[in-house]
């Protein structure tokens, strides 16, 4: 019996290692490289299938183990704000008007401030 790398037939996302493959799945023998958060088969090779938001969450969780409680709280607040602002950005990027351009610029300035805060927090790792 051979061990398959089972992926979803529709999305290409890695599901599990198994000896059996279901109808909605594809079985590969090629192992995904180490380091991917959500391995995805694109038809010829493994790629990272996780969204940028998911990658940021995983990296933040990894860093949180090395940060003080205050910095962890600040990072959590930062992520909540970033998620809320990302929702606003998506809503604003529909057909653009002058008012929406101003809102997008203000949002970009706020995101830049949050990025600087994050960098300062990471520099102050205990």
Q: Which domain holds residue 103?
A: 52-123
**Closest by Cα among 5, 1, 3, 23 to 14:** 5
Q: Are residues 59 and 110 in the same domain?
A: yes
pLDDT at 26: 93
Q: Are residues 29 and 44 in the same domain?
A: yes
Per-residue pLDDT of 71-124, as tens digits, reads 667 777 777 777 666 666 566 555 556 666 677 777 777 777 777 777 767 666
Q: Are residues 61 and 100 in the same domain?
A: yes
pLDDT at 75: 72
Instruction: Look at the block and give the residue holding tokens 């909540």.
Output: 80
Q: Is the pLDDT of residue 15 over 70?
A: yes
| Average predicted confidence (pLDDT) for the chain | 78
- The Cα–Cα gap between 16 and 49 comes to 15
Q: Are residues 23 and 70 in the same domain?
A: no
The arithmetic mean of pLDDT across residues 61-75, rounded, is 69
């Amino acid at each position: 019996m051979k061990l398959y790398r089972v992926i979803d037939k529709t999305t290409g996302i890695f599901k599990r290692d198994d000896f059996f493959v279901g109808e909605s799945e594809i079985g590969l023998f090629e192992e995904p490289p180490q380091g991917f958060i959500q391995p995805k088969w694109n038809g010829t090779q493994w790629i990272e299938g996780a969204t940028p938001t998911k990658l940021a969450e995983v990296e933040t969780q990894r860093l949180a183990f090395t940060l003080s409680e205050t910095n962890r709280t600040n990072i959590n607040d930062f992520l909540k704000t970033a998620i809320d602002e990302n929702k606003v950005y998506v809503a604003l990027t529909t057909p653009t008007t002058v008012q929406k351009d101003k809102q997008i610029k203000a949002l970009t300035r706020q995101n830049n401030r949050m990025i600087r805060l994050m960098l300062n927090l990471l520099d102050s790792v205990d």
